[in-house]
Amino acid sequence: GAGVSQSPSNKVTEKGKDVELRCDPISGHTALYWYRQSLGQGLEFLIYFQGNSAPDKSGLPSDRFSAERTGGSVSTLTIQRTQQEDSAVYLCASSWAASGGGGDTQYFGPGTRLTVL
Amino acid sequence: SQQGEEDPQALSIQEGENATMNCSYKTSINNLQWYRQNSGRGLVHLILIRSNEREKHSGRLRVTLDTSKKSSSLLITASRAADTASYFCAIRANMEYGNKLVFGAGTILRVKS
């Protein structure tokens, strides 16, 4: 079956430009997460969506970062006025639930590698 | 700061040997999960162990959890070159962190053939 997909796979942009990264979660998954991973580092939580609840934006590093999830499915992460320190791999994951139980397993997309020149 | 801390940071072994990676954390958890990442791209879920479980097995993988020591270990037996990857532990601690997984910095495993 189809897994989590992300587009584009690679994005090179100039400092100051806006970028949009897209995530298509697994159909039926109610929870969707965005993470950022800098080279050789672990995953940094950015934002979390669960059903129709208000998203948990506690991980967004600045107000240049925002995300939407339309219709409980596709999500877009937008970075405005990109900076060189935004260069990283942006990973999206989805899961059935975020309850701490067995439905908690996250399924990751292949990521978008963002390079800000 | 990362709450799941793995050690060692890097591990290099010969094919056929066992690999053990450890994860320590600082708060009460709902569950702890291990993931594998190849080539800096998407992560693949390996095992989830709940806070009331002490050990789980999946194929050549064995995970233990000691909540009194706030630590977990991942053992890969009879390693293969294809096991070369980064391994991350992640904790879910709803009381402390809400509905998100908190990942450690990972252990880089290299299996030499």
Is residue A26 a part of any domain in this protein? yes
Per-residue confidence (pLDDT) for residue A1, from 0 to 100: 54
The answer to whether the CB atoms of A33 and B94 lie below 8 A apart is: no
Distance CA A76, CA B51 (A): 34
Distance CA A115, CA A62 (A): 18
Distance CA A26, CA A16 (A): 32
The confidence band for B11, taking pLDDT boundaries of 50, 70 and 90, is very high
Number of domains in chain A: 1
Which among A104, A112, A113, A114 is the top mutation candidate for probing chain B, defined by the most B β-carbons within 10 Å of its own β-carbon? A104
Is residue A31 a part of any domain in this protein? yes
Residues in B whose CB is inside 8 Å of some CB of A read: 2, 4, 30-31, 33, 35, 40-45, 48, 50, 88, 90, 92, 94, 98-106
pLDDT tens string B16-25: 999 999 999 9
Lowest mean pLDDT among A56-70, B61-75, B94-108: B94-108
The confidence band for B100, taking pLDDT boundaries of 50, 70 and 90, is confident
Q: Let me know: does B22 contact B72? Beta carbons within 8 Å.
A: yes
The confidence band for A33, taking pLDDT boundaries of 50, 70 and 90, is very high
Query: In the CATH hierarchy, which top-level class contains the domain B5-112?
Result: mainly beta
Contacts of A52 in chain B (CB under 8 A): none
With tokens 């292949």, the residue in question is: A110
Is residue A114 a part of any domain in this protein? no
B33 pLDDT more than 50: yes
What are the extents of the domains in chain B? 5-112
Is residue A115 a part of any domain in this protein? no
DSSP A58: T
| CATH code of residue A83 | 2.60.40.10
Is residue A20 a part of any domain in this protein? yes
Which among B6, B99, B107 is the top mutation candidate for probing chain A, defined by the most A β-carbons within 10 Å of its own β-carbon? B99
Is residue A71 a part of any domain in this protein? yes
Which among B41, B53, B88 is the top mutation candidate for probing chain A, defined by the most A β-carbons within 10 Å of its own β-carbon? B41
Give the one of A45, A101, A108 whose C-beta lies nearest to B43's C-beta.
Answer: A108
B103 pLDDT more than 70: yes
Domain of A16, in residue numbers? 5-104
Contacts of A23 in chain B (CB under 8 A): none
Question: Region B14-38: what's the mean pLDDT?
Answer: 95
The answer to whether the CB atoms of B45 and A105 lie below 8 A apart is: yes
SS3 B96: helix
Is residue A109 a part of any domain in this protein? no
Is residue A110 a part of any domain in this protein? no
| CB-neighbour burial class of residue A14 (10 A; exposed 0-12, middle 13-18, buried 19+) | exposed
pLDDT tens string A63-106: 999 999 988 799 999 999 999 999 999 999 999 875 555 557 88
Core vs surface per residue B71-110: b (16+ CB within 10 A) or e: bbbbebeebeeebbbbbbbbbbbeeebebbbbbbbbbbbe
Distance CA B43, CA A23 (A): 15
